[in-house]
Amino acid sequence: MLSKPWLLTLLSLTTASLPCWAQPAPPPTPTQPSLVASQRLVKGSAAPFSGTLLSDAALAKIITDAEARVKAAALEADRLKKELDIAERKADAVCLARLDGERLRYAACSKDADRTRELLDKASNPPWYKNPYLHFIMGSVVSGGVCAAATRIK
């Protein structure tokens, strides 16, 4: 059985040498063959790659078609951006209209609440001459006076 210091030394040497065991990564392989633009092939010469050889007219057509597709895609992207902008503006307008409607409803409710508060204040604090207690007391005084006056008449 190894002692603890020997075991730690062996373990550290083993893990320190792990990067040495790693295999180097293979060089990246190009996905498309590289073409030299200035290289011209003549009839009968060997091509530097396997595949289809194109004439200048066919290559020009392929390039112009690709450029046309890029331009069409750019126009479509611009159109979609404009549509998105219009949709966002419509959504903002709808939200603002709803917000304005809610503000108007709140204002109407606020006016109704103020009017209700005024009416409640008037009902709970009537003028002195509309106080029911005043009428009761005045009626009692008048009827008491009439009774007193009736008893004094001979």
* CA distances (Å), origin 67, targets 36, 52, 63: 21, 21, 6
What pLDDT score was predicted for residue 15? 65
60 against 41, higher pLDDT: 60
Instruction: Average the pLDDT over 63-90 and give the result.
Output: 94
What pLDDT score was predicted for residue 17? 58
71 against 129, higher pLDDT: 71
- What pLDDT digit, counting tens, does each position of 129-151 carry? 777 788 888 889 999 888 888 88
* CA distances (Å), origin 52, targets 27, 29, 40, 48, 55: 27, 21, 14, 12, 10
Question: Alpha-carbon distance 118 to 106, whole Å?
Answer: 18
What pLDDT score was predicted for residue 36? 43
Residue with tokens 């050889």: 53
Least confident of 18-22, 62-66, 73-77, 124-128: 18-22
- What pLDDT digit, counting tens, does each position of 13-54 carry? 666 555 555 566 666 665 554 444 446 677 777 776 666 777
- What pLDDT digit, counting tens, does each position of 93-114 carry? 999 888 888 888 888 888 888 8
Q: How many CA atoms are closer than 13 Å to the CA of 36, on its beta-carbon side? A: 7
